Amino acid sequence: MADVPANPYAEQLKQGVQRLRFARPLERQYRLYQRQESYGLRRIALAFGVLVWLAFAVLDQLVIGAPERWWALALRLGVLVLLLGYAWLLLRQPHSPWLGPFSLLCITALGVSATAVVGIAHLRHPHFPYEGLLLICMAAYFLVGLRLSEALLSSAIMLAAYLAFDSWAGTAPARLANNLVFLLFGNLMGAVGCYLLEYRSREHFLVGNLLQALAEQDSLTCLHNRRSFDRQLERLWRQAQRERVPVALLLGDVDHFKAYNDRYGHQAGDAVLRQVGQVFQQAARRPLDMAVRMGGEEFAVLLYDIDAAQMLQRAEALRQDVEGLQIEHAGSTSAAVVTLSIGVVCLLPQPGQAPSSLYQQADRWLYEAKAFGRNRVMSTAL
């Protein structure tokens, strides 16, 4: 990982994911990713759970005698109403942040009500099967899209409820202990499997995002690359058309950079590009702004919702900041230090106008800045 530019995904991979917990910003991002990835699984689990729950309700009526069967039926129907409410949320608001807590609530309610039914049945039928509780635990670990910590919490509540209800039903201590050991070891296997699944899920999340970041990042300066710029420009262009706000582009080129490389060597040239890249990065502070290394010694800053006066002010500040680095450049005919020529343009996107027109006009003004002596800003607003 030594050649990977610093980013949160690479840093987290170095630290590992054994504890199934990321740094806070990454953890929020992962939970959103996990909610989206588990959406299909939750729909399948919900449909399966409702069918199984109804089947158990029918079984209760056949096996449990009155009046206990009516208590069991009331419990089954109460949980069924909760499941139908979850189904409504799942279908109407598939990206709701409440899906995770609601999933935990539903599976916990399933477990507690199932243990209550078992306890009620054991009042008259000591051999009424309790093994179905393990199915609910396995669903919590593998079918509901819960994280390991949530699945463990749900299963622990269910086991505590089983102990309470079966003790209330008068189950013999030896039989109760035997049943608990069976459920505990079943949960242990489920927890190990769930840990491995979540570990792989988190690892896949980090690797996938790291690869995407590397595909859109310049390896030398850690700025966005041309591919990332083209994608962002398309998005901002459409958004600016909808919101009727301007988009600006500051396109800069390091003056006489070939001469710098020839005189000081490519290693020194790379160091210059990294320093200039840092200056451009500082110029893109707002959420929708973007600093880009377009290629070679050409850099850009994409700015959203900014007027011409602000654009020129930012461009001039950028030029002065690069000059203020005071990097000696004896091969330059423009100044004794490394300088920057900048072409800037600010456009209000019009229907039918291509986003590429922004770059084309900025490139034309960059050419004018070079033609008029370099180390200057050129724009239609001047």
* Average pLDDT of the segment spanning 339-358: 93
Encoded amino acid at 23, one letter: A
pLDDT tens-digit series, residues 248-258: 999 999 999 99
Q: How buried is residue 257: exposed, middle or buried, by Cβ count under 10 Å (0-12/13-18/19+)?
A: buried
13 class by beta-carbon count within 10 Å (0-12 exposed, 13-18 middle, 19+ buried): middle
The whole-model pTM stands at 0.69
pLDDT of residue 190: 94
What pLDDT is attached to residue 381? Answer: 61
Predicted local confidence at residue 382, as pLDDT? 53
The pLDDT of residue 189 is above 70: yes
Residue 166: pLDDT band by 50, 70, 90 thresholds? very high
CB-based contact 131:187 (threshold 8 Å): no
* Residue 340 tokens, joined: 């920057």
Q: What is the mean pLDDT of residues 141-151?
A: 90
Mean pLDDT confidence for 130-140: 88
Average pLDDT over every residue of 174-192: 94
Measured CA to CA, the distance from residue 321 to residue 338 in angstroms comes to 11
Ordered by where they begin, the domains of the chain are 8-214 (no CATH), 226-379 (3.30.70.270)
Q: Following DSSP, what letter does each residue of 16-59 receive, concatenated?
A: -STTS---HHHHHHHHHHHHHHTHHHHHHHHHHHHHHHHHHHHH
Residue 2 in this model has a pLDDT that exceeds 50: no
Q: What is the Cβ-side half-sphere exposure of residue 98, based on CA atoms within 13 angstroms?
A: 10
Q: What is the pLDDT of residue 46?
A: 87
* H or E element, residue 317: helix 308-323
Q: Are 17 and 223 in contact (CB under 8 A)?
A: no
First to last CA, the chain: 47
Q: Provide the pLDDT confidence category of residue 6 given band limits of 50, 70 and 90.
A: low
Q: Note the pLDDT of residue 16.
A: 86
pLDDT at 292 over 80: yes
